[in-house]
Amino acid sequence: MHILDVGESSFPVKIEADSNDITGHAHHDKRRSFLCPVCKKRFTSKRYLRDHKLIHTGKKLYACTECEQRFANRRYLKAHLISHSGKFKCSECGKGFRSNYDLTDHRRTHSGEKPFECTVCSKRFATSHDVAIHRRIHSGEKSHKCHMCDKAFSQSENLKRHVRVHTGDKPFECSDCSRRFSRSHYLYVHSRIHIGEKPFKCYMCDKAFGTPGILHRHIRVHTGEKPYKCFMCDKAFSQPGNLNIHMRVHTGYKPFQCSLCNKSFRTSTQLQIHKRRMHN
């Protein structure tokens, strides 16, 4: 299974290894390969490369006639059409799938269930495919080494993503607000702000969220869990951001400066209150 990031929507589909993408194939004929200048993937023809490059531009030329969603290339549109034609329908969001197996995998995007566990590090995953990919980090030589630090990776794609930490490269641009991201997944998560998609629902109240991470942080409101503890006093917090703000009490750090009198504050809220009271 593969979770397809398309900026507008996300849906799991079975996609066979793309025979047109020959990145990482040691035996490919370099004379017939076409290189993407952004992510360095190679393709067997100019047409496949042209379709692929649209992913990086943010342009969505291919529209679905059923729901008017738009996609960067024909392949993503074709995969999306399964959500309308598949006979196995999700009761949560109405998307359709070609098999009950695919539907079962999809339902975990709503429930957050991760039944597949790595036998080496106990990390859990939603699908058997995801855990199989993860296991590669525990086996084999990490031959793909970063030339800017001492980290190494078992897959070239992981190295490419890591290098962006050093270069600051953000090849994925939001077509709605032009914000840029280092990974396509980050762009997809961000796009939910614009389309209002909130597939992850709290089982203790009626609130819903765009990502499982935000949902998990919200659930602490109900459970009272406070895993982020200050090492300088006995206070604890449910969110890491609140701990960071609290630490300024101990460090004296005041990053928010008033532009009218140069007085500084620990939080933006304190700065706004100061401006209203002192500078009208």
**CA quadruple 140, 143, 144, 150: dihedral sign:** positive
For tokens 């004929």, name the residue: 29
- Residue 19 is predicted with a pLDDT of 43
For tokens 């952004």, name the residue: 38
Evaluate whether residue 216 is within a structural domain.
Answer: no
Specify the higher pLDDT residue, 3 or 48.
48
Q: How many angstroms separate the CA atoms of 172 and 274, rounded?
A: 39
Of 39, 55, 85, which residue constitutes the final position of a domain? 85
Evaluate whether residue 151 is within a structural domain.
Answer: no
- Residue 274 is predicted with a pLDDT of 93
**Which domain, by its residues, includes 5?**
1-85
Of 61, 85, 109, which residue constitutes the final position of a domain? 85
- Residue 273 is predicted with a pLDDT of 93
Q: How confident is the model at residue 141 (pLDDT cuts 50, 70, 90)?
A: low
> pLDDT by residue (tens digit) across 116-125?
888 888 888 8
Evaluate whether residue 78 is within a structural domain.
Answer: yes
The answer to whether residues 250 and 235 touch, using CB atoms and an 8 Å cutoff, is no
Average pLDDT of the segment spanning 75-102: 74
Q: How confident is the model at residue 16 (pLDDT cuts 50, 70, 90)?
A: very low
Specify the higher pLDDT residue, 84 or 31.
84
- Residue 167 is predicted with a pLDDT of 80
Evaluate whether residue 140 is within a structural domain.
Answer: no
Q: Which long-range contacts (CB under 8 A, 24 or more apart) does 140-148 make?
A: none
Evaluate whether residue 107 is within a structural domain.
Answer: no
Evaluate whether residue 119 is within a structural domain.
Answer: no
Of 44, 66, 85, which residue constitutes the final position of a domain? 85
The structural domain count of the chain equals 2
| 153 HSE (CA, 13 A, CB side) | 15
The answer to whether residues 235 and 246 touch, using CB atoms and an 8 Å cutoff, is yes
Average pLDDT of the segment spanning 146-162: 82
For tokens 């951001």, name the residue: 241
> pLDDT by residue (tens digit) across 182-228?
888 778 778 877 877 788 888 888 888 887 778 888 888 888 888 88
> pLDDT by residue (tens digit) across 40-84?
777 788 877 877 777 666 667 778 776 667 777 777 777 777 667
Evaluate whether residue 254 is within a structural domain.
Answer: yes
What CATH number is attached to the domain comprising 14? Answer: 3.30.160.60
Q: At residue 70, what are phi and psi to the nearest 5 degrees?
A: -120, 150
Evaluate whether residue 172 is within a structural domain.
Answer: no
Radius of gyration for the chain, computed over Cα atoms and rounded to the nearest angstrom? 23
